[in-house]
Every structure is written in C-alpha cells, then in structure tokens.
Amino acid sequence: MAICPLGVVTIRVGVMAYAYAGEGSLDYFPCHYGTSKLLFRGPRRDLALPYVAVLGGTETYGKFIPRPWPALVEDETGLRVVNLGCVNAGPNVYLSDPGVMDVVSGSRLAVVQVLGAANLTNRLYAVHPRRNDRFLRASGAMAQLYPEVDFTNFHFTRHLLQTLQAVSASRFEVLVEELRRTWIARMRALIEGAGVPVVLVWIAGQAPGPRGPADLSVDPLLVDRPMIDAVSNLAAAWVEASSNLSGMAGVLDGMAFAEMERPAAEGLPGPRAHEALALCVADAVDRLLQS
C-alpha cells in the first residue's frame, strides 16, 4: 500500500478521458442504515461488524464513479467501510438525522469530508433537511437585507447565492459572514457529535485559501483556511487532498454517466483521483487504529 504522511497531504492527480463503456448510468444500490430515512449508496454494509463510517457530499457518495474512494479505503485497510455520503450534502443532513448519527457513533472511527458552507440552514435562509442544496425560504432578516429580491424564484442554493452576489456584492458579504459563522458551529457539532475519532478530509482542486472576497466558482463553496483552522483541531487527523481538476472538460476516464449527465460529470474528480485519495485516507485510518 502506498503511504501518505499524516498532516497535510496534497494529491495532484491528472485525469484522462473516456466515458464508461456500457449503458451509461450506474446502479448505486441505494440502501438505508439504522432508523435513518436517508438513502445511501450500497451495497449495504454489515453494521454488526467493526466498521468505519464515512460522511460527505457528492465526491464521497461517488456519483458517476464505479468504485468511489470509501470502497477503495475498505480494500486498502481490510476494514468494513460504510459510505454515508449524500449528494450535495451540508452538515444539516447529518445533524438533523439521529438515526445516521447513531450509525456514526457505533463505528470505530469516522471519516468526514469538509462540506461547503452554502447548503445549510442559517439565520437568513432555510434549506431542505435531506436535500441540502434545495432552498426552502428566506427569513425576515434576509428580506430586509435584499428587499428588491423575490425569493420565490429560487429553488437551489447556488442559484440564490449567485443572484444575490450580482445584486449587491457588499450586502452579499453580510450573508457570507453568516454562512461562515454557521458553518463553523455546525461542522464542530458534527465532529464532536460523532462520538468517535474523526479523520477530517479536504477534497478539492485547490488547497484552502486565505480569507478574501467570496468566490462562488470554487468548491467547497465559501470555505477558507480560517474556517478549517476553527474546526480541524477537533479532528484526530487531517488529510488535505487536492486533485488537479484544471482543464477537466471532457476528461472523464472511467466515469459512468448517461450523456445528459455529462456536464455534471465534468465537474467531479475521476477514478484516479479517488484512488489517490483512498491511499491517503487509508494511511490515516491505519495510523489512528494502531496508535
């Protein structure tokens, strides 16, 4: 097994290109765990055995990836790995579901992907409790901040944020500060609420940057280095994995998608990035369990 040092691990992975040979879309074998109403990627793993719980967003779920990095971590470590990743997840999807948190607390340790700051309920707007990228409603405070905006026109958080930034960059920074503050509180609650040691993982095309004007073109959305510093001290290990996704348009080697899904697939890391990430996470998991 290739070894990555604990601490900051930067992965630069080129991605080659062809679409998955076959009919296109994958069968994700959706399944439930415990009392949670959420659907997770299968095949379903046995919770009666010692296991590692993995929480995260689209990259962790492994959309368009035949074998995503949680499955590869299982191969590398020999431990049962339960993939609890949810597409477009924010911290809310876990914190609002006691059933899934019971699954996490029953694990030997948890691996938690750094999630974006847009898809969470805050004092200015609310998101769907399970589909966190879905905008539900604006608060009175938001209506006062943007009196000229009709919030019934929005269904997704990214569209909401892009529009509000275009309407007023200065007022948008008020919203961003609220999201940053809320994100820190929720991510700390998620790590502390796991009840087991946590490996915190950064998965992006760039390292966390310094505090600056909001950039809605970079994921995890609106998360910067000071925010990471505010939560990473609670984790038992930190893995910083940056896959080189530049020039990725049409570069889809080994990914499985229907043609209509091509634009979404082009924005996600491919199988080689998942393989490299899995080696680094597996190394962190092995070291923690041997310590």
Q: Which residues of the chain are modeled with pLDDT < 50?
A: 1-2, 5-7, 9-23, 244-250
Assess contact for 192 and 91: CB atoms under 8 A: no
DSSP-derived letter for residue 188 is H
pLDDT tens per residue, range 191-211? 999 999 999 999 988 889 999
Domain ranges across the chain: 51-118+180-290
Per-residue exposure over 68-87, b if at least 16 CB sit within 10 Å of its own CB, e if not: bbbbbbbebbebbbbbbbbb
Q: Taking the CA atoms of 135, 100, 241 and 239 in sequence, report the sign of the dihedral they define.
A: positive
pLDDT at 272: 86
Q: Which CATH number fits domain 51-118+180-290: 3.40.50.1240, 3.40.50.1110, 3.10.20.30, 3.20.20.60?
A: 3.40.50.1110
DSSP-derived letter for residue 22 is S
User: What is the Cα 168 distance to its own chain's centre?
Assistant: 28
Say which amino acid occupies 167.
Answer: V
Q: Taking the CA atoms of 271, 272, 274 and 275 in sequence, report the sign of the dihedral they define.
A: positive
Contacting residues for 215 by C-beta, under 8 A, at least 6 apart: none
pTM of the model: 0.89
Longest Cα separation, the chain: 58
3-state SS string for 36-104: CCCCECCCCCCCCCCEEEEECCHHHHCCCCCCCHHHHHHHHHCCEEEECCCCCCCCHHHHCCHHHHHHH
User: Could you give the count of Cα atoms lying within 13 Å of 114 in the half-sphere of its Cβ?
Assistant: 29
pLDDT at 262: 86
pLDDT tens per residue, range 172-197? 999 999 999 999 999 999 999 999 99
Concatenating the DSSP letter of every residue in 200-223 gives EEEEESSPPPPS-S--TTSTTTT-
Reading the block at residue 152, the tokens are: 């019934």
